[in-house]
Amino acid sequence: MDFNKLKIQFKNILNKSIDYIGENKRYFLAGIIFIAMVLVLFLGTNTEATSEKGSNGVSKKFKENKNTELETLIDDYYDAYANGDTDKLSSIATPVSDEEISYIQFYSNYIEKFSDIKIFTKQGLKSDSYLVTTEVNLKYKDIDTAAPGLDFFYVETNEDGKLFINNTYGSFNQNNNIYEMDAEISDLIGVFIRQQDLLDMEADIQDAYTKSLEDDSALNTFMSETLPAAIVQWHTDYETQVAAAEEEAKKAEEEAAKKAEEEAAAAAEAEEETNSYTGKATATVNVREKADKESKKLGSVESGASVKIYGEEGDFYKVDYNGTKAYIIKEKIKLDSEDAGEDNQEEQAEETTGNATSIAEGTEVSLTSTVNIRSAMDSSSSKVAVAYAGEKVTVVMSYAEGWTKVKYGKKEGFIRTDLLQ
């Protein structure tokens, strides 16, 4: 929300308080400088009268508004701004950034009302769009004299045929480079702000604003000291809030990732437990931290001791060792008779491959005995899982080699076709 009426005060603040405003002056601009004046300060002012339309066809003279819909739009905007009602404001002016919403909510605390609003228009880039200049008096709370000023809006028509304020060209957004602007509209505004009738209007408002400061010392103090200090404090507080929110979001993301990892680990552990089987040590054997003969030794298992096996990794079984997952070399472990018997079944089945018939894809088979599910079509390949009698597997595909690929829970592997018939 920017007002040309504050241009002179801004210059005084820059001259007297540049160290105080420092790097925050762009926020000060956003709060109290009318967009046209900001652009004039950056681009320079052409004091010669515009004798012809600009290259973008901007009208030479303002028209006093007679469009009731436009009047209602502008009045509603000022009401919402004065009340800090950013929800309502966002419904008639779009887009509005989070930063500007914060600024409006802060700035509105000082505003009592906008009054004596006069609306002047020139045609925008399209026939149903407007370059809008308003003369308005801004009454601050607890200050007797209102501050006169100019304001600017770029108004367009939406797909429903209703007018709205394109806030991309609002001064807050332009000063802070929040949204990308259309080059043609920007060029149009560049022509608009140099036209003599607007420059004359600005000069009149500047005179009125200067007189208001001279007539009311409270207004002068507010504009030169109170408001600039408050804007700097708002900026500090806003940056602190943004940083805290980002830190909170990062923390939440890290906690979510950690929780997902823990859940995945718990699910994997549960699946390992479900598919576990047992064996016995054939001799005293070392227990390793990893599936590597050079890995750290955790202890040993005596000959004949029973071990719970969770799976295979190369030449090692993954086992339970005093509640910890560890590794024992396979050659020192003999699987219990039930699993060993199944291995014998596989060996016997290899000799009768020719008698096996294929099983239709999608068939659900209820197992009559415990079987090993292998990683490949080879009885010496590593085990994916062990499926027990009474459990079910689903056929993915049968192969001529006498093996069938099955789905067992979330795992897939191979079982001798004979063992499924």
Whether residue 31 is predicted with pLDDT greater than 60 in this model: the reply is no
Whether residue 43 is predicted with pLDDT greater than 50 in this model: the reply is no
Look at residue 225 in the predicted model and tell me its pLDDT: 95
State the CB neighbour count (10 A cutoff) for residue 324. Answer: 11
Alpha carbon of 307 to those of 3, 72, 275, 327, 384: distances in Å?
82, 82, 14, 11, 18
Query: Taking a C-beta distance cutoff of 8 angstroms, is the pair 116, 86 a contact?
Result: no
Q: How far from the centroid of its chain's Cα atoms is residue 97's Cα?
A: 14
**Domains in the chain and their CATH numbers?**
4-245 (no CATH), 275-335 (2.30.30.40), 337-420 (2.30.30.40)
Look at residue 198 in the predicted model and tell me its pLDDT: 93
Half-sphere exposure of 69 toward its Cβ, with a 13 Å CA cutoff? Answer: 12
Whether residue 350 is predicted with pLDDT greater than 70 in this model: the reply is no
CA-wise closest residue to 136 among 154, 153, 121, 148: 148
Q: Is the dihedral of CA 252, 177, 38, 81 positive or negative?
A: negative
Buried b (16+ CB within 10 A) or exposed e, 129-142: bbbbbbbbbbbbee
Q: How far from the centroid of its chain's Cα atoms is residue 326's Cα?
A: 42
DSSP, collapsed to helix, strand or coil, labels residue 142 as coil
Q: Which of 200-209, 300-309, 377-386 has the lowest mean pLDDT?
A: 377-386
341 CB-near residues (< 8 Å, 6+ apart): 369, 370
For the chain, how many helices (H) and strands (E)? 12, 19
State the CB neighbour count (10 A cutoff) for residue 113. Answer: 14
Look at residue 48 in the predicted model and tell me its pLDDT: 34
Look at residue 421 in the predicted model and tell me its pLDDT: 81
Whether residue 46 is predicted with pLDDT greater than 80 in this model: the reply is no
Whether residue 103 is predicted with pLDDT greater than 90 in this model: the reply is yes
Element (H, E) at 405: strand 403-408
Look at residue 354 in the predicted model and tell me its pLDDT: 47
Structure tokens at 357: 């018939």
Look at residue 61 in the predicted model and tell me its pLDDT: 79
Instruction: Provide DSSP, 11-26.
Output: HHHHHHHHHHHGGGHH
Query: Taking a C-beta distance cutoff of 8 angstroms, is the pair 385, 410 a contact?
Result: no
Whether residue 311 is predicted with pLDDT greater than 60 in this model: the reply is yes
Q: Which of 30-44, 104-118, 136-150, 221-235 has the lowest mean pLDDT?
A: 30-44
Q: How confident is the model at residue 344 (pLDDT cuts 50, 70, 90)?
A: low
Whether residue 70 is predicted with pLDDT greater than 70 in this model: the reply is yes
Whether residue 117 is predicted with pLDDT greater than 50 in this model: the reply is yes
Across 167-284, the runs of DSSP E, i.e. the strands, are 277-281
Look at residue 267 in the predicted model and tell me its pLDDT: 87
Query: Taking a C-beta distance cutoff of 8 angstroms, is the pair 287, 300 a contact?
Result: yes
CA-wise closest residue to 214 among 151, 147, 150: 147
Instruction: Give the pLDDT confidence of 365-392 residue by residue, as tens digits.
Output: 999 888 999 999 988 788 888 888 889 9
Look at residue 93 in the predicted model and tell me its pLDDT: 96
CA-wise closest residue to 275 among 306, 305, 307, 309: 309
Instruction: Give the pLDDT confidence of 221-279 residue by residue, as tens digits.
Output: 999 999 999 999 999 999 999 999 999 999 999 999 999 999 988 888 888 888 888 89
Whether residue 72 is predicted with pLDDT greater than 80 in this model: the reply is yes
Whether residue 364 is predicted with pLDDT greater than 90 in this model: the reply is yes
Look at residue 273 in the predicted model and tell me its pLDDT: 83
Mean pLDDT, the chain, rounded, equals 83
Q: How confident is the model at residue 355 (pLDDT cuts 50, 70, 90)?
A: low
pTM, rounded to two decimals? 0.58
Instruction: Give the pLDDT confidence of 54-66 residue by residue, as tens digits.
Output: 444 677 778 888 8
Half-sphere exposure of 98 toward its Cβ, with a 13 Å CA cutoff? Answer: 5
Look at residue 269 in the predicted model and tell me its pLDDT: 83
- Greater confidence (266 vs 131) lies with 131
Query: Taking a C-beta distance cutoff of 8 angstroms, is the pair 396, 363 a contact?
Result: no
Own/partner long-range contacts of 120-124 (Cβ < 8 Å, ≥24 apart):
120/62, 120/63, 120/64, 120/65, 120/201, 121/62, 121/63, 121/65, 121/67, 121/70, 122/58, 122/59, 122/62, 122/63, 122/192, 123/57, 123/58, 123/59, 124/154, 124/155, 124/156, 124/185, 124/188
Distance CA 360, CA 130 (A): 72
Q: How confident is the model at residue 348 (pLDDT cuts 50, 70, 90)?
A: low
Look at residue 121 in the predicted model and tell me its pLDDT: 95
What integer is the mean pLDDT of 208-231?
Answer: 96
What integer is the mean pLDDT of 81-97?
Answer: 95
Half-sphere exposure of 110 toward its Cβ, with a 13 Å CA cutoff? Answer: 20
